[in-house]
Structure 1
Amino acid sequence: MSSVRLSSPLKIEDYLESVTTSNQFAGSAEQLFTLKLGLFGEVGELYAGIKKARRDALTDAEARVAAEEVGDALWYLLAIALHQNVDAKALVASALKEIAKILNVSAPRRSTAQASFRQIVGFVNAHASPGAIKEVEAFQRLAARVGLLVSSPRSQAGQLAEVLADLALLAHALSLDLEEIAAENIAKTNARWPKGAGAVTPLFDSSCKPGEQLPRKLWVRFEEKRVKDVAYVYISVNGINVGDRLTDNSHEPDDYRFHDVFHLAYAAYLGWSPVLRALLKKKRKSSDVLDENEDGARAIITEEGISTWMFNVAREHLFLNVTQDKFPYALLKQIRALVKGYEVDKCQPWEWARAILKGFEVFRQLKKARGGYVVADLDAREITYKGLKEINERIEYKEIRRKPRKSKATKRVQPIRGRVPLI
């Protein structure tokens, strides 16, 4: 089930530290009630995910879904415990007593060791005989207790311990390991809400030939012109015209003709854009595998699909006032599913959130000014907007367009004409 393998026990305190970092509800007046509703919702999603399966019938995919939902429920439960200042050792001790009561075995003596998930998992594994924990019964008990927890004015330590015991028993009934689930949940939350600035994923083409790397600096001019009452956007990259003139391709005008800024954002913040590789003729032809699988038609269609989908999601608000830490996680999960198997799958959810929001930030500027320059700096991992009158192309392009030393192998760069076909 899990890709995480732990050499030492995962301490509850370490998990609580991760909860503190990733808690986006901290400081709000309704924090406790919101956390309770989150727990209630996750238990409901867990049931929806496994209601048609039984322990022995869970596929790998269903097991991963169940494990993630149990992990999310665990996060909310321990966030509530943290909010209520419940002692970790006391919580685990009470949970073990509750497990012993349900399994009708003797409760363990109070441990002097640090509280860990392994204590809970080990006790359940040692005392739960095959078939002793019924999945349906475990879930019914969990649902009932979570309902009581949500309806209580305050969360008592005993209630939290009971729900922790129920999660451990349900995980066992589903042939899942609660410690591995907790470790996966930490990895998930750290990927979404990293400590500090977060380490960016290295550019994917760093080891490729210079001619097959995306340019590290791109000055992209977006200029809007009208032809017979139809608005078109013309694009040039580092002074060279690229692609066909673009319209919105929509019955309702929505300025999607400026959407190439999204591809620039993906290139700058993710180091990935099969669309730009095609436009700039930077496909990695020296590698048949990369050329076909990473830079080919399917990858291009995937990127264009994500661009269009995100635009449709944000059509009304264009992600105005949406911060990186508040970007909908459900969207990030679906994006990760779409790019699974591609090199960009290595990028973390927070990197996707940043790329999308930065792209829309500059899109809003282009839309307002009806054009401008987008400067993409892949080394600095950023894109910025400049007005059409702010740039002196002769000065700005001087370094970029400096002629290389003459050699027999040097060829004159021809302008790229026409949008590169997707298929």
Structure 2
Amino acid sequence: MMGIDYELLTVASYAKSATLTDQGSESRSLNFPLLGLYGETGSLLSVVKKKQRDSASYLGYAEAVVEELGDVLWYLTAVARRGGICLSSIAAGCLDSARGNWGRPDMAVTFEALQPDLIKHDGAPTPAFEATLLQLAGEVGAVLADHHAGKLDDNQAAFADHLVTVLRCLIKAANEAGVTLEAAAIKNITKIFDRWPKERIYPPFFDTTSDLDEQLPRSLVIDIFEKKVRDKAFVLQRCGGIFVGDRLTDNAVEPDDYRFHDVFHFAYVAVLGWSPVIRALLKLKRKGEPAVDEAQDGARATLIEEGVTTWIFGQAQRLNFFAGLKPGDLPLDMLNHVRDFVAGYEAAECPLWVWEEAILQGYAAFRFLQKHRRGRITVDLANRRLTIRELPI
């Protein structure tokens, strides 16, 4: 049997990638990453607490442990870097107590070297794992306390000793959980680049191989306007001089302008290349591919899209409909919930940053419609853009 070549992930390589995703990498302040380190350590403890409380129903425990270990590792990297210390030097310090030059990276140390005798096991957290997590929380707390007291100012050796102790606790916790820090590091970087990519390359359209007459239009102009009928305001949509869809109201006790919400579906078309709702509206369901038509363009997919759109709207109401926000600003947990919402459908394959662009572009058009009560939107799939301008009366 032939062996499979596998390149071990070095700590220095991970730290380099992690630094690229540090949105405040130019700052020398330790406050933000220390707060993050403490917070993510608390999140790791919370995962264990949830498993103890909901042992039978908490099915995502193992995956959550790996993710939270990765988040702790990321903030430890940021703390070290802003303190002028290389994470790989801290890792080397875990293996060699005589380590001295903390600012020079050790290019050779791998994550595997930190966990040479890992024993895989599954199931509930062990008492040893729980005890180690409490120790980890205590050590992280000690770093914060000494930093706040000024004891680490101009004392890199003491700071490095703290971080070595924290990393040793993290390694011990990973061993007792039966997971590798390498897996946690890879998952962490993948997750962060999914949100804040090094290069924004859009995924291909989902219907590229479909019949041309069943593809979403690559360019589309739609007029959306409010009109009163018997003293009641409705929103109508017109494309190529033909009315499409139903007359819309807010369907709510308190008016909130949700009557304009189809603009969000058109934004999904423009940026994601996805919208079962618009496919149904324009009669573009992929009938030539029965399995795709049933699973991706059917009634259930339409309900999922309407559901996630309504949920996002609720979040947007609390954030001034995302006014003033730019790419990179939407809450990460909100975007993760969106992906969970569409799990099993094509849109789940879209990176989080693409979802964010679709949401922000849709809400920019929505705010325009709120103000002007009418507008002409242009869907431009080639450039992944939805734009809006004034609609002549």
Alignment TM-score, normalising by the size of structure 2: 0.87
Separation (CA, whole Å) in 2 of partners of 1:113 and 1:388: 60
Separation (CA, whole Å) in 2 of partners of 1:334 and 1:304: 15
Read off the aligned partner of 2:269 and give its amino acid letter: A
- Describe the SS at the equivalent of 2:161: helix
Separation (CA, whole Å) in 2 of partners of 1:363 and 1:332: 19
Larger deviation: 152-161 or 279-288? 152-161
Q: Which residue of 2 aligns with 1:10?
A: 9
Q: Where in structure 2 are the equivalents of 1:16-27 lying within 5 Å?
A: 16-27=15-26
Q: Which residue of 2 aligns with 1:141?
A: 135
Q: Which residue of 1 aligns with 2:102?
A: none
Q: Which residue of 2 aligns with 1:36?
A: 34
Q: Where in structure 2 are the equivalents of 1:189-204 lying within 5 Å?
A: 189-196=192-199, 198-204=200-206
Read off the aligned partner of 1:287 and give its amino acid letter: E
Separation (CA, whole Å) in 1 of partners of 2:111 and 2:59: 23
Contact 1:324/1:350 (<8 A) preserved: yes
Q: Where in structure 2 are the equivalents of 1:16-415 lying within 5 Å?
A: 16-27=15-26, 31-51=29-49, 53=51, 61-97=60-96, 114-122=108-116, 124-125=117-118, 134-153=128-147, 154=152, 156-196=159-199, 198-316=200-318, 317-389=320-392
Q: Could you report, residue by residue, the CA deviation over 1:136-158 in whole angstroms, capped at 9, with x for unpaired residues? A: 22112111101111222248111
Report how far residue 112 of structure 1 moved: 7.4
Separation (CA, whole Å) in 1 of partners of 2:249 and 2:384: 28
Larger deviation: 45-54 or 371-380? 45-54
Change (3 A) 1:177 1:200: same
Structure 2 unaligned blocks of 5 or more:
98-104, 120-124
Runs of 4+ in 1 over 4 A off after TM superposition: 57-60
Change (3 A) 1:6 1:120: farther
Change (3 A) 1:212 1:112: closer
Q: Which residue of 2 aligns with 1:395?
A: none
Read off the aligned partner of 2:13 and give its amino acid letter: D
Structure 1 unaligned blocks of 5 or more:
99-110, 391-423
Q: Could you report, residue by residue, the CA deviation over 1:350-381 in whole angstroms, capped at 9, with x for unpaired residues? A: 11111101110111112111111110011221
Contact 1:12/1:117 (<8 A) preserved: yes
- Describe the SS at the equivalent of 1:86: coil
Separation (CA, whole Å) in 2 of partners of 1:323 and 1:72: 24
Quote the sequence identity (%): 39
Q: Could you report, residue by residue, the CA deviation over 1:100-127 in whole angstroms, capped at 9, with x for unpaired residues? A: xxxxxxxxxxx976232122122x539x
Read off the aligned partner of 1:214 and give its amino acid letter: L
Separation (CA, whole Å) in 1 of partners of 2:213 and 2:38: 54
Report how far residue 199 of structure 1 moved: 1.0
Contact 2:224/2:236 (<8 A) preserved: yes
Report how far residue 27 of structure 1 moved: 4.4
Read off the aligned partner of 1:135 and give its amino acid letter: F
Separation (CA, whole Å) in 2 of partners of 1:323 and 1:255: 23
Report how far residue 28 of structure 1 moved: 5.3
Read off the aligned partner of 1:90 and give its amino acid letter: S
Read off the aligned partner of 2:41 and give its amino acid letter: V
RMSD: 2.4
Change (3 A) 1:219 1:158: same
Separation (CA, whole Å) in 1 of partners of 2:241 and 2:141: 63
Alignment TM-score, normalising by the size of structure 1: 0.81
- Describe the SS at the equivalent of 1:23: coil
Contact 1:191/1:349 (<8 A) preserved: yes
Read off the aligned partner of 1:125 and give its amino acid letter: L
Contact 1:269/1:382 (<8 A) preserved: yes
Aligned residues: 365
Please say which structure displays the higher CA radius of gyration.
1
Read off the aligned partner of 1:43 and give its amino acid letter: T
